[in-house]
Amino acid sequence: MRFPKSFRWFLKTFGGDGHELDLNGCNDILENHKSFKAFHIPKGYVIIQNVDEYCYCLDTENMKDGECPVVNWSAYEEGVYHTANHFYQFILDEIENAIENDWFEV
């Protein structure tokens, strides 16, 4: 499995610590994968944010031009929902949402 360029940039730049955005670093990715393996997480899904009842995942099986979509997947419900075309779009949406909701000061 290969991470998309945008997520590799994120890991190199921030060390996987999403600061106040609550994004997973490498250790969290491995732990989440172990936790959700029993729930038959789809092949190629990499959990980048665990929000309890659902998870945001990189869909590495659908890599195109070094990037892959971010999807919303739940171990408890059927269906997968497209969230962003790539990690850059996902992280930008997360930052904008954090600013709008005063999760941290700019």
Helical pair 5-14 and 87-100, crossing angle rounded to 10 deg: 50
Tens-digit pLDDT profile for residues 13-65: 877 655 555 565 555 666 666 666 667 788 899 888 888 888 899 999 999 99
- pTM for this structure? 0.81
Alpha carbon separation from 51 to 32, 62, 75 (Å, rounded): 11, 23, 11
pLDDT, residue 77, reads: 87
Calculate the average pLDDT of the chain: 82
Percent over 70 (pLDDT), the chain? 75
